[in-house]
Structure 1
Amino acid sequence: MVAIKLSESGRRVVVAAERLAATLGNDPNHTVAAAAMDTAGRIHEAVNVYHFTGGPCAELVALGVAATAGAGPLVTIAAAGDRGRGLIPPCGRCRQALLDLHPDVQVAVPTDDGPAMRPIRKLLPDTYFFPDADARRIVRFDKHDYEAVATARKTSTVRHDETIGPGPAIFFFEDDEAHRTLDGTVTGVESRRLDDGSTVDQLTFTVEAPE
């Protein structure tokens, strides 16, 4: 399964979730903490609400907290358990909600080599898609790409194993504290099959001039 090395912003989200989880003590009603980052770099924190009727997981509460703050699309999310359990992966219900509402979010999961990020689509393959979610899409770039994208010197990018179709999107520049995002439009997607049988997509795009 595809794993993505933690960026600095990803590390901040993991640390925030684990720090909040460490404050939960022995309260049986609140046993998991979650932290999620939006495209502006703000981190939204929440805890679960355990109840026998099916209280919400920490990740779902975090989605509500972020929405209340007007966060828009989320780029990274992590959850951690109380009493030193550390980073924990999301349950199936949370995976489905994340995929439908934030289809480009990366999720922190524990691995033998420490925390890693996985695209939410990789955590829930062959899934049902909720057609009315109307989620705003995110195209990720390295922070060093900002000037080339902003000045239209770079108008295409090659993506492996991603499913981003034509339409408006937020262009998110990982760990770029100065700029963070640009509004843009994916104008075309051309799929190409490689010699090893895998496929890559070449996205062409335009961006709105930064203010």
Structure 2
Amino acid sequence: MTGRLVADPASHCPDQAARTVVAAAFAAISSRYVLARHQIAAAILDGNGGIHLGLHVDAMVGRAAVCAEAGALSAARLATSAPLIAVAAVRYPKPTETAQARIVPPCGLCRELLLDHAPALRAVVHDGPEARLAPMADLLPHKYVGTKWPTAPTRS
């Protein structure tokens, strides 16, 4: 916990599902932020109303780092087989930054991962002054389709 006042970006979300996941991600990163180690938290809302959290875990070797969305996806799949509805990630500002916490879209790798496991998932993204839920497929219009799985997973 940093001890400074940082505004919750959920106030920029007109949609209740978006507000819910952004507020949960903000609460998580507000309590777990550590400079150069944990800067982003993510939350996933499932079809039963459950919230699943993930924390960005940085590493000396960048490739070993784990994105918050991957952690939230893992937590969700450990807890439920319900469909996954919405995801949001919030970046907490560094002590040297004057900016507030902000909603960040999933990186390209997370877009691929989330679409592999939840094809109907929507992500909270900023669209002007407000945030909105966008279909994850719109964020990755040319998703890689391999042959590892003969059909889409039955759990989404």
Same fold (TM > 0.5): yes
Q: Which of 101, 104, 121 is equivalent to 1:105?
A: 121
| Partner residue, 2:45 | 37
* Percent identity of equivalent pairs: 31
| Partner residue, 2:105 | 89
Q: Kindly indicate whether the alpha-carbon contact (under 8 Å) linking 1:6 and 1:117 is maintained by their aligned counterparts in 2.
A: no
Q: Highest relative contact order (Cα 8 Å, sep 6+), 1 or 2? A: 2
Q: Name the CA distance, whole Å, in 2 between partners of 1:106 and 1:88.
A: 14
Superposed CA offset, 1:32-59 (max 9, x none): 1000011101111120111113321000
Secondary structure in 2 matching 1:117 = strand
Q: Name the CA distance, whole Å, in 2 between partners of 1:107 and 1:70.
A: 19
Alpha-carbon deviation of 1:86? 1.3
Mapping for residues 109-128 of structure 1, pairs under 5 Å: 109-128=125-144
Q: Which of 64, 85, 107 is equivalent to 1:54?
A: 64
Superposed CA offset, 1:77-104 (max 9, x none): 0000012331101100000111111000
Mapping for residues 163-202 of structure 1, pairs under 5 Å: none
Unaligned 5+ segments in structure 1 are: 139-211
Task: Label 1:91 to 1:134 Cα distance change in 2 as closer, same or farther (>3 A).
Answer: same
| Partner residue, 1:169 | none
Q: Name the CA distance, whole Å, in 2 between partners of 1:6 and 1:99.
A: 24
Secondary structure in 2 matching 1:14 = helix
| Paired letter, 1:46 | G
Alpha-carbon deviation of 1:10? 2.3
| Partner residue, 2:90 | 80
Which structure would you say has the larger Rg?
1
Q: Larger % of strand: which? A: 1
| Partner residue, 1:134 | 152
Number of equivalences: 134
Task: Label 1:55 to 1:20 Cα distance change in 2 as closer, same or farther (>3 A).
Answer: same
Mapping for residues 18-37 of structure 1, pairs under 5 Å: 18-37=26-45
Over aligned residues, Cα RMSD in angstroms? 2.0
Superposed CA offset, 1:151-208 (max 9, x none): xxxxxxxxxxxxxxxxxxxxxxxxxxxxxxxxxxxxxxxxxxxxxxxxxxxxxxxxxx
Secondary structure in 2 matching 1:46 = strand
Unaligned 5+ segments in structure 2 are: 1-12, 94-99
| Partner residue, 1:9 | 17
